[in-house]
Every structure is written in C-alpha cells, then in structure tokens.
Structure 1
Amino acid sequence: MAINLQKGQRISLEKSNGSKLQSVCVGINWGAIEKKGLFGFGTTKEAVDLDASCALFDESKRLIDVVYFGNLRAKDGSVRHSGDDLTGDMDGNDGLDNEVITVDLSAISPAVSYVAFMLNSFRGQDFGSIPFASIRIYEGTPIRVNEVFASYDIAHSKEFAGHVSMVLGVFYKKNGEWKFNAIGEPTRDRKLEETVRTVGQNYL
C-alpha cells in the first residue's frame, strides 16, 4: 500500500515484503493551465513546462552532480532522467508521469550521501495556477510500475501559490542504508541553480 507522505516525514526504503528498494523512480505528473476565452466564451490551454531535477551531494554537503533536462545521466550512471516535457497534460490528467527520474541506489558512488529532488517551473508559471501536479516514488521503470512506495500531492495547497520552485525530498544515507525525507516545501528561487544552492544550504 502506498504511503501518503507528509511534509518532514522520514521513511526507510523498504518494500511491503520487507526487502529493500534498490531501483526507484521519482515521477512527476502535471497538467496544462486552462484559461477562459475572450468574453468568457470557450477555454484555451496554456502549456506548462515543469522541470524535475536531481542533485547529488557528498557527506560534507558539497555538490557532486546535477541531473536535469540538460544533463540526463549522472556521471556514475546511477541516476537517469527521462527527458524534458515542455507542455504537461494538455487534455486532462492521463495518470502518467510526464517526467521520470530513475535512481539505482546500488550503483550510486560511495562518495554520494544525499540525492535531492527539486521541481522548477521553467517559464515562471506559479504552482498555484497549475490544475494538478503530483510526485510518486515507486519501484520499477519509467514504463513499468511494480509497486508504488509513496505518493505526494503537491498541487492542492495554498502555500505553493506564488512560487515557481520547490524541494520535493531527499534520499539520504544513514548507517549504510538509504532513507527518504519528504520535504515538499516551496522556495523563493527562480532558477534551478538557485534551488540547488538552497537545498545544499537548508535541506540536507
């Protein structure tokens, strides 16, 4: 059964049968903005370009690597990005992830202690205007979901209105085991590099 993550909740990466998760996906699903037409007649759809990104840090919180739409693979091959989605769901929620970041926890370099996930609105459309946006963490691949481990709704909260950047959560290594910290907090950053800096300073 999936866990509905609450902000600040820390969970161990354990499947329902007690074994540890090794290959996990972080998927983001979101929709285009619907706008009323001229004089209130009809509606139009405005594409939304959200960008899921992943930053890897060492134990000293020094940045090692960033995986995003411009760099789809970590240097050690442990993290992969499915590619840039520039529009979101234009015809309503299809239930599929628009962008997926796949993490092979067993392949992460021993130097990495933190794997952080961020979401940025590339065109500056604030999160409060997007009809739906959610994150889910699951075992499987970008095209096959074996078991949903956790899900997190990031659209239906007033705190995100007026923001274009947020920290989703952080995988962190403790006593040799990977755990996950659900953060789900908006930041005042405008660009990815600013959000990465904020993560390193405040969320590890």
Structure 2
Amino acid sequence: MAINLQKGQRISLEKSNGSKLQNVCVGINWGAIEKKGLFGFGATKEAVDLDASCALFDETKKLTEVIYFGNLRSKDGSVKHSGDDLTGDMAGDDGLDNEVITLDFSMLKPQISYVAFVLNSFRGQDFGTIPFASIRIYEGTPKRVNEIFATYDIAHSKDFAGHVSMVMGVFYKKNGEWKFNAIGEATRDKKLEETVRTVGQNFL
C-alpha cells in the first residue's frame, strides 16, 4: 500500500513483511511553458530545464559527493542518474518521468548517513510558471513503481511559486536503519551548489 506522505513527515523504510527497502527511485515529470502570442495567436512553447540531483553526506554531515547531470553515477555505484532532460514534455504530459535518480542502499558506503534529493530550475524559470511539475519518490525501478512514499505537485502549490530551487527529501540512517524525511521545502538558492549547502546547514 502506498504511503503518501505529508510535507515534513518521517517514515521508516522497513516494509510490511519486515524486509528492508533496497531500491528507491526519485522521478520528476514536468512540462514546457506555453507562451501566448499577440492577441492570442501564435502560441509557442518554451523549453524548461529542471535538474534533479542527489547529495551524499557522511555521519559528520560532511558532503562527500554530488550526483547530477554532470556526474551521473556515484563512485560506489549506489546512485545513478538517468541523464539531463533539457526541455520537459513539449507536447503535453506523457505521464512519464523526465529524469529519474535511483538509489541502492545495499551499495552505499557504510560511512554515508544522509542521502538528500534536491531540484533546481537550471535557467531560473520560476516553478510557479511551469504548467505541470510533479515529483514522486518510490520503491521500484525507473520502469516499475512498487510503492510511492511521497509526491509533490510543485507547479500548483503556492509554496513553490517564485522559487527556482527546492529540497525534495532526505534519507537518513538512525541506529543502523534507513528512514525518510519528506521535506518538500522551497529554498532561496539559485544554483545547485547553493542548494546543497543549504541542505547541509538546515535539513540534516
């Protein structure tokens, strides 16, 4: 059964049968901005480049690695990025994720205690101007959704309007067990490195 989290809610990643969650995906689906022409004629589509990224921190909250469009795989192979989508769905919502980051807990180095997921608008396009933009954090693979942990509709929530950066959520290790904090907070940052710094200072 899917656990649809509220912002700020925390959950354990132990499944109902007592087994531990091994593979998690973070998928982002978004659309292009529609620009209306003069007197309503000649509408055009403006490509939107959203970037999903993942930051790994050790037990002292020191940043060890960032997985993003310029670094698609963590050194230990535990985190993989599907690649940069520069446009969004130009022809309307196809229901598929434009970018997916996968995380395999069994491959993470033992010293990693926090795995944070963030989203940035590369060209500075305000989240509130995008026709649709949704995030889902789920158990499964990029092609199969088993159980959804958290969903965010960032295009239609007033909390994200006027922002180009957000913290989606953080997986954290407590007493050897992985848990998830569904943060869903917009930040005032403009660039990925700023957002990662904000995570380290405020959300771990």
Name the TM-score, length of structure 2 as normaliser.
0.95
Indicate how the Cα distance of structure 1 residues 137 and 17 shifts in structure 2: closer, same or farther if over 3 A, else same.
Answer: farther
Give 1:86 deviation, angstroms.
0.3
Give 1:42 deviation, angstroms.
4.1
Indicate how the Cα distance of structure 1 residues 34 and 17 shifts in structure 2: closer, same or farther if over 3 A, else same.
Answer: farther
The 5 A counterparts of 1:118-197 are 118-197=118-197
Please list the CA deviations of residues 109-153 of structure 1 after superposition, one character each: whole Å capped at 9, or x if unmatched: 011000000000000001010111111122222122233333232
Whole-angstrom CA distance in 2 between matches of 1:10 and 1:181: 4
Gaps of 5+ in 1: none
Give 1:177 deviation, angstroms.
0.7
Gaps of 5+ in 2: none
- SS of the counterpart of 1:183? coil
- SS of the counterpart of 2:97? coil
Give 1:154 deviation, angstroms.
2.3
Corresponding residue number in structure 2 for 1:203: 203
The 5 A counterparts of 1:47-66 are 47-66=47-66
- SS of the counterpart of 1:159? coil
Query: Contact 1:29 / 1:133 at 8 angstroms: preserved in 2?
Result: yes
Query: Contact 1:2 / 1:151 at 8 angstroms: preserved in 2?
Result: no
**Higher mean Cα deviation, 148-157 or 91-100?**
148-157
Among the aligned pairs, what percent are the same residue? 86
The 5 A counterparts of 1:63-142 are 63-142=63-142
Whole-angstrom CA distance in 1 between matches of 2:134 and 2:15: 21
Name the TM-score, length of structure 1 as normaliser.
0.95
Q: Give the letter for the 2:2 counterpart.
A: A
Q: Give the letter for the 1:178 counterpart.
A: W
Query: Contact 2:128 / 2:154 at 8 angstroms: preserved in 1?
Result: no
Whole-angstrom CA distance in 2 between matches of 1:16 and 1:85: 35
- SS of the counterpart of 2:159? helix
Please list the CA deviations of residues 149-175 of structure 1 after superposition, one character each: whole Å capped at 9, or x if unmatched: 332322221121111111001000011
- SS of the counterpart of 2:201? helix
Whole-angstrom CA distance in 2 between matches of 1:17 and 1:94: 34
